[in-house]
Amino acid sequence: MDQPLKIGLISPYDHAFLGGVTDHINNLAAEFRSSGHTVRIVAPCSAPQRIADEDFIPMGRPVSVPSGGSVARVSFSIWLRWRIKAMLEREAFDIVHLHEPMAGFVTLNVLSLAKSRSEVLIGTFHTYRGTRLYKIGGVKIGKPYFNRLDGRIAVSQPAHQFISRHFPASYEIIPNGINVDDFVTAEPLPELDDGKINLLFLGRLEKRKGLRYLLSAYSKLKWDWPNLRLIVVGPGKPDDESYRIIGERGLQDVVFVGRVSAEEKARYYKSAHIYCSPATGGESFGIVLLEAMASGRPVVASDIAGYSSVLTNGHDGILVEPKKDDQLAAAIAGLLKDPALRARLAANGRRTVEVFRWERVAGRVMDYYNSFLESRQAAISR
């Protein structure tokens, strides 16, 4: 179908807090708008004044709840239902695309109310482990809502395997995307171009991200490569075990940067010689691996489901057993010793990442939308 569509992208998560689902939605919106479609993003928001998108519709304030080894910021307000109903009637979407439809009251209410109208309802499932709600009756409660969806997307095979165990159905696997050119064209930070070898960790400082194992591996590598520096970029604080390793082993040249902007993040990747992600599990997709690969940097990462779905061991990166600091140190040492291997992995990674360009990913999502719109139009025409 060629006519412009009106699309509602619905998120259960705090839109003022950067995260994988929020980034995914923002990039989908940008691609669809560039193709002439009208897009509204609907989500809870702790700081609406920080959102520059004029078409953003804030829907309630979020609260923080544990989820899959991380923290989800979602709304459980029972008072939103009338606002959501009025919003759906006002907007009259052609497509209502819900991300993590079962994750909060915003998406659940949209899902239950929108089906009374003529919208096509699409759900995208991002997570690998999800919350404990699925284990304590959430599947039974969520099944009637799930059945209202016309189409279902999973962002990876691990995400598909997880959600299909709880909600068996037909799913289209469409991955997350990446703004490849932002990383290709980024300039290194001059203060980090001082002759040291930069090993980069980039991610939230949560226990499941595995920083402690990288610190332990770094302590072993530092003896043979005294010129090595570990740069830690991302929000949060190291856990107690990470602090213990730093203190007991007297680690030098460990730089904690904290939260950075998207532009600064790309520059940190470009300033690195090796990117390392020692996550212990719970990752449905390896977006940070793709960002490093787009930056032309060799990758060492844990061999977990979400990472092995985007990286092939020995071809465009190195995968090691999670929680094994000796293996992590050995893999990094192998790259430090072999510049040709670093260059080969980096070159292969740059080729791999091309299929994850946002314009390609958004095109696949739009094709999926259109398959339902065309089927509905054909049924009406009979």
DSSP state of 212: H
CA angle (153 as vertex; 117, 101 as ends), nearest 5: 55
Q: How far apart are CA 41 and CA 382, in angstroms?
A: 34
Express each pLDDT in 347-367 by its tens digit. 999 999 999 999 999 999 999
Q: Do domains 6-177+357-381 and 180-355 have the same CATH topology?
A: yes
Topology annotation, domain 180-355: Rossmann fold (3.40.50)
Q: Say if residue 74's pLDDT is above 70.
A: yes
Express each pLDDT in 77-119 by its tens digit. 888 999 999 999 999 999 999 999 988 899 999 999 986 557 8
Sign, Cα dihedral of 122, 126, 127, 131: negative
Express each pLDDT in 124-142 by its tens digit. 999 876 555 555 446 777 8
Q: How far apart are CA 329 and CA 188, in angstroms?
A: 25
Domain boundaries, the chain: 6-177+357-381, 180-355
Q: How far apart are CA 80 and CA 77, in angstroms?
A: 6
**134 touches 159 (CB < 8 A):** no
What mean pLDDT is predicted for residues 47-70? Answer: 82
Q: Say if residue 170's pLDDT is above 70.
A: yes
Q: How far apart are CA 261 and CA 255, in angstroms?
A: 17
Q: How far apart are CA 284 and CA 129, in angstroms?
A: 8
Superfamily name with CATH number, domain 6-177+357-381:
Glycogen Phosphorylase B; (3.40.50.2000)
pLDDT-based confidence at 155, cuts 50/70/90? very high
